[in-house]
Structure formats: C-alpha cells, structure tokens
C-alpha cells in the first residue's frame, strides 16, 4: 500500500486543492470561524514574489490524500534555519496507513538537505491522537517549557498603530 503513495511539491495549479485541504483541516479542528483564506491569498503567499510558505502533497493511487504546509524559521543560538510545519493533514478515510509519517519523513529529509538545525511544529493540546503519534511513532519531544504567544486581529492592529 505504501508503495502506491507519492509526494510532490505543490504548484500554482494546486491552489484549489490546497485550499480544500485547509478547509477540511479547519473543520476537523473546529476552527472554521477563523477561516479567512482565499485562493488569491494562497496563490500570493505560496507562489508570489515573496514566497512565505511551501506545500507538499501526498497522493495514494494518484489521488490526493493529504498535505503539509511549512516554512523556514531561524534559531539565533544555533545560527541556522529551522523547518516549521504549520499544518499536516491526511483525509480521515486514509489515516492509519502511514501516509502522515511519510510526509514527516519527507520534511525531515528536506530539513537536513537544507541544513536546518531543527524541525518543529505545534499540536493542539486537545488533539491527543496526534500528540500520541508524534511522541510514540516518530520520537518527537514536547517542549512544555515554551509558551506560545500570539497577537492577532484588533490586538495586533493596536500594537502596530502604537508610535515608536
């Protein structure tokens, strides 16, 4: 089964597919109220002049079954880039077949190829299945000593409007 699974980088012509995966993931995570992305935004962010992220697509028997969206960050203490996985999604009917792990392996190899010091991501605390998978199946370690902070919407607007 796994031999019929292939991975490739998304192209401009895949924007509709990528958006459909993003919508499925948002529904799965019950985040649809936050969903604002459009094809135009994705096209610009993924393939525009200032490319902000990349996407790989997973296919089983030539049918799309999942995706991963990632970008580079930077570690100041290590002086090297890192690979940051923003989203990983496999269609529910295709889970448990090793496809998610294959996408992670692909990205780990890409991180090494690009001389990244680390490969990291965040999982929702409520997604116990994903957390268990990351810990048991691939050896990822949770970094509980870090606290994620976020500015968005009106709070981001307010801080950005503050005079320097």
Q: Domain ranges in the chain?
A: 2-160
Residue 34 reports pLDDT greater than 80: no
Does the annotation count 84 as an active-site position?
A: no
3-state secondary structure of 150: coil
Q: Pick the catalytic residue: 60, 84, 89, 134?
A: 134
Percentages (nearest 5) of helix, strand, coil residues in the chain: 40, 25, 35
CA distances from residue 158 to 86, 150, 151 in whole angstroms, order as listed: 26, 13, 10
Q: If pLDDT is split at 50, 70 and 90, which confidence band does 35 have? A: low
Number of helices (H), then strands (E), in the chain: 5, 5
- Across the chain, what does the average pLDDT equal? 92
Overall residue count recorded for the chain in this entry = 164
Which pLDDT value is given to residue 56?
Answer: 98
- The model's pTM is 0.91
Element (H, E) at 121: strand 118-121
CATH architecture of 2-160: 3-Layer(aba) Sandwich (3.40)
Q: Which residue has the higher pLDDT, 107 or 2?
A: 107
Q: If pLDDT is split at 50, 70 and 90, which confidence band does 36 have? A: confident
Residue 27 reports pLDDT greater than 90: no
Q: Residue with structure tokens 């100041």?
A: 76
Structure tokens of 112? 């090494």
Which region among 85-99, 105-119, 146-160 has the lowest average model confidence (pLDDT)? 146-160
CA distances from residue 10 to 59, 68, 81, 112, 127 in whole angstroms, order as listed: 12, 10, 22, 20, 26
Q: Round to whole Å and give the CA distance between 132 and 33.
A: 27
Segment 100-117 mean pLDDT: 96
Which pLDDT value is given to residue 53?
Answer: 98
Residue 2 reports pLDDT greater than 80: no
Tens digits of residue pLDDT in 46-75: 999 999 999 999 999 999 999 999 999 999
């Amino acid at each position: 089964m796994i031999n019929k699974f292939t991975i490739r980088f998304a192209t401009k012509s895949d924007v509709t597919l990528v958006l459909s995966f993003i919508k499925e993931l948002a529904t799965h995570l019950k985040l649809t109220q936050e969903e604002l992305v459009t094809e135009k935004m994705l096209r610009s962010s993924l393939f525009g002049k200032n490319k902000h992220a990349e996407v790989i697509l997973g296919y089983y028997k030539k049918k799309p079954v999942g995706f991963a969206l990632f970008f580079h960050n930077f570690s100041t203490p290590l002086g090297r880039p890192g690979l940051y996985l923003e989203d990983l999604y496999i269609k529910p009917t295709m889970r448990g077949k090793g496809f998610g792990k294959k996408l992670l392996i692909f990205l780990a190899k890409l991180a090494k190829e690009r001389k990244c010091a680390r490969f990291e991501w965040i999982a929702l605390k409520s997604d116990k299945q994903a957390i268990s998978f990351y810990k048991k199946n691939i050896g990822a370690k949770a970094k509980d000593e870090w606290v994620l902070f976020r500015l968005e919407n009106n709070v981001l607007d307010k801080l950005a409007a503050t005079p320097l």
